[in-house]
Amino acid sequence: MSGSKAVAGATPDEPREPAVPGSSGMSLACADVSFSYEEARAPIPAVRDVSFELPAGGSLALMGASGSGKSTLLQVVRGLDAPDTGAVLLDGAAPVDAGYAALQREVGLVFQAPELQLFAATAREDVAFGPRRLGWPEEQVTAAVDTALDVVGLPPAHFAERHPYSLSGGEQRRLALAGVLAMRPRLLLLDEPFVSLDPGTRRQLVGILERLKAAGVTLLLATHDVDLAWALCDELLVLGEGRLVAAGPWDFSTAGGRLLAENRLREPFFVELWRRLGRDPQRAPRSASAAAEALS
């Protein structure tokens, strides 16, 4: 398979931090991307003329009401649907360029509902599905599975032989993530990863994503949770009815605030706090400890 070469090529400069898969992140650019489904009655939203850039190793929160096209955009970026017009550029390469398919295989997409993604008889088999499709030799697959399970906090010794459906909701969510991480994505797309997790499991997942970010993986995170988006992502992209409403660094100026409100989003907690304390909301902290540091 051509994919194995490209992925193997990505590995040498990687294991500075062996617990985290992936290596240097992939840059992403969408240029005038439009996509709509043929069946107009289907409740699957369209995406229209969306352009943005996400540098390698960057992190972008994708926000907007349900039905605004977030999931559709993620699937187009992953290449599950070809855009009607425009192009998705990966590491600057366009779909017509040689090696684009291999780059696409380095884009990982985790869907919202874990129960739609898990199917094998054991956690190990499930996570191994992707790496095997990449044509990796079996020992490399085993290593990748073990690493991925470790990274998501499901130690193989305890979890590898468990049946995916015997796991709790939070564990299933992390297993679905492991199935994608095992393929060593350089760009990770996540669709509402925090939904119906308890606060403890949410904290774990935030920790995992922070480590991936530190390891250089590029993150594109679709979420409704503005506080977690602010904690994890450098930049913000807002979709409204399939169109791009805002893209770039978080903007809490008057205009930026209005834009958030118009799209039924609120300010992150720390931003509101900073504004009400008379401080510059643009420089609001991203975590409780950073806020305490600034206030002490």
Partner 1 sequence: MKATIAQYYAGDSLLHRLDPRAKFVAVSALAVALFVRDSFAGLAVYAAAAVLAYALSGVPVAWFWRAFRPLLWLVALTFVAQVVFAPGDPFFSFWFIHLSWRGLELAAFLSLRLVVLVLVGSVLTLTTPSMALTDGLAWLGRPLRRLRVPTDELALMVTIALRFIPTLLVELDTIMRAQRARGADFRHGGLGERTRSLVPVLVPLFVLSFRRADELALAMEARCYRPGAVRTRLHPLRAGWSDFALLVVTAAVIAAGLLV
Partner 2 sequence: MSSSPDETAPLFDISGLHYRYAGAQADALADLDLTVHEGEFVAVLGANGSGKSTLARLLGGLEKPTAARHALACGHDLLVEDGRLSARRDVGVLFQNPENQLVAQCVEDDVAFGLENLAWPAADMRRRVDAMLARFGLEELRRREPHMLSGGQKQRTALAGVIAVPRRVLVLDEPTAMLDPAGRDEVLMAVREMHADGLAVVYITQEMDEAVGADRVVVLGGGTEAYAGTAAGLFADAVRVRRLGLGLPAAGELALALAERGHALRGLPLTIDELLAALGDAP
**Positions in the binding site for partner 1 (CB under 8 A):** 3, 39, 41-44, 75, 78, 80, 105, 108-109, 111, 113, 115-120, 129-130, 133-134, 165, 179-180, 183
The nearest distance, CB 171 to partner 2, in angstroms, is 9
Using the minimum distance from each CB to partner 2, give the nearer residue, 56 or 195: 195
CA distances from 110 to 16, 71, 129, 137, 212 (A): 25, 11, 14, 24, 14
- CB under 5 to 8 A by kind: which of partner 2, partner 1, none does 249 bind? none
From 237, 21, 266, 295, select the one nearest 136 (Cα to Cα).
21
**Binding residue (CB under 8 A) for partner 2 from 41, 98, 139, 255:** 41
The residue type of 30 is C
**Binding residue (CB under 8 A) for partner 2 from 16, 199, 249, 254:** 199
The nearest distance, CB 111 to partner 1, in angstroms, is 5
**Binding residue (CB under 8 A) for partner 2 from 51, 266, 280, 283:** 266
Q: Count the residues of the shown chain that bind partner 2, applying the rule CB under 8 A.
A: 36
Q: Is 67 one of the binding residues for partner 2 (CB under 8 A)?
A: yes
What's the order of all strands across the beta sheet hosting 85-90? 85-90, 28-35, 47-54, 243-249, 235-240, 59-63, 218-222, 187-191, 107-110
Q: Is 279 one of the binding residues for partner 2 (CB under 8 A)?
A: no
Interatomic CA distance for residues 262 and 245, integer angstroms: 10
H helices present in the chain, as ranges: 2-10, 70-78, 100-104, 123-133, 138-151, 156-159, 169-181, 199-214, 226-232, 254-262, 269-276, 288-295
Q: Is 132 one of the binding residues for partner 2 (CB under 8 A)?
A: no
Using the minimum distance from each CB to partner 1, give the nearer residue, 40 or 96: 40
The nearest distance, CB 63 to partner 1, in angstroms, is 21
Q: Is 278 one of the binding residues for partner 2 (CB under 8 A)?
A: no
Do 5 and 33 contact (CB within 8 A), yes or no? no
From 17, 98, 86, select the one nearest 242 (Cα to Cα).
86
H or E segment and range at residue 218: strand 218-222
Question: Among positive and negative, which fits the CA dihedral 20, 23, 24, 25?
Answer: negative
Q: Is 203 one of the binding residues for partner 2 (CB under 8 A)?
A: yes
Q: Is 153 one of the binding residues for partner 2 (CB under 8 A)?
A: no
Tell me the backbone φ, ψ of residue 61, rounded to 5 degrees: -90, 130
Q: Is 245 one of the binding residues for partner 2 (CB under 8 A)?
A: no
Q: Is 291 one of the binding residues for partner 2 (CB under 8 A)?
A: yes
Q: Which residues bind partner 2 (CB under 8 A)?
A: 41, 43, 65-67, 168-170, 195-203, 224, 226-227, 264-266, 269-270, 272-273, 276-277, 288-289, 291-293, 295-296
